[in-house]
Amino acid sequence: MNSAYPLTPEQISTYRRDGFIKLEGVITGDDLAAMRDAVAGAVQNESANDDPARVKSSYEQIFIQKVNLWTRHDDVKPHVLSKRFGDIAARLMGTRARIWHDQALFKEPHTGAKTPWHQDTPYWPHEPKIEQTTIWIALRDATVHNGCMSFIPGTHKLLDIEPVNLGNPQELYDVAPQTKGIKPVTVELKAGDCTFHNGMTFHYAGPNRSDGMREAFAIIYMPEDTTYNGVAHVVTDPVKDTLTVGGKFDTPLFPIVSD
């Protein structure tokens, strides 16, 4: 899984123009099976004590989300720290790649709600906010029917939009009227395919109307020189004493995973 992926200059150019790209077969065969088993097992383990009778919030209805699994599950760790994935991220960003965090994103059958249009980086305690990238890996086929991703090309250049409240979202055109007239691109994936998207690219996932779980795993990367701005976040709040406002994320929780 640490062998280099044959990323072309044309693909890099497309990513930088559009703010996203689809890559086929980024993980295959036994490696894919091992990742799927590790992530699904971790999600099942961490969901075992959930109360099925509890009414979920609007945000919780979007997906089962588990963050930073690599820090708690040894079988997930090698996938998150994969040099194969990290080097793709570095080539797309144009700088060495540092882990921000991972997250399992599982949409439940029939009940998994749509993920509203949003950008990612405005939620994060990062400066600057322009080159972060996410690999979104389909652990099983991701289709329009079960909630694959869609992107609005070029919107990674929209830098001054307030973060969308995912639990109570506004209409896209109210949030970002600049997106009117830009046709979204829906990207279906076979298991083992992925997308990379810039953290400022507007993206969306439909509801899961299928009989099966939509299983996806995301690993988020930031440029190695990204600095911490001190804004509250679930990933950094527990370790904020190890970080310096204005300083780099240079701790073991945020390792560099590329050349």
Mean pLDDT (whole number) for 178-202:
97
What is the Cβ-side half-sphere exposure of residue 4, based on CA atoms within 13 angstroms? 8
- Whole-number average pLDDT of the chain: 93
pLDDT bin (cut points 50, 70, 90) of residue 56 is low
Q: What is the DSSP code (8-state) at residue 247?
A: S
Q: Who contacts 153 (Cβ-Cβ below 8 Å, separation ≥6)?
A: 17, 18, 19, 20, 182, 185
Tell me the percentage of the chain whose pLDDT exceeds 70: 94
pLDDT of 125 over the 80 cut: yes
What are the CB-based long-range contacts (under 8 Å, 24+) for 228-231? 228/125, 228/126, 228/127, 229/125, 229/126, 229/127, 230/125, 231/124, 231/125
How far is Cα 87 from Cα 104, in angstroms, rounded to an integer?
Answer: 21
Amino acid letter at 182?
I
Fold classification of 9-47+56-242 is: Jelly Rolls (2.60.120)
pLDDT of 70 over the 90 cut: yes
State the DSSP H helix or E strand holding residue 219, giving kind and residue range, or none if neither. Answer: strand 214-223
Q: Which two tokens stand for residue 123?
A: 């939620």
**pLDDT at residue 34, as a whole number:** 98
Which pTM does this prediction carry? 0.94
The residue extents of the domains of the chain are 9-47+56-242
pLDDT of 227 over the 60 cut: yes
Per-residue model confidence as pLDDT tens digits over 103-120: 999 999 988 678 889 999
pLDDT bin (cut points 50, 70, 90) of residue 158 is very high
pLDDT of 53 over the 70 cut: no
pLDDT of 6 over the 60 cut: yes
How far is Cα 143 from Cα 146, in angstroms, rounded to an integer?
Answer: 5
pLDDT of 58 over the 60 cut: no
How far is Cα 9 from Cα 127, in angstroms, rounded to an integer?
Answer: 27
**pLDDT at residue 38, as a whole number:** 98
SS3 232: coil
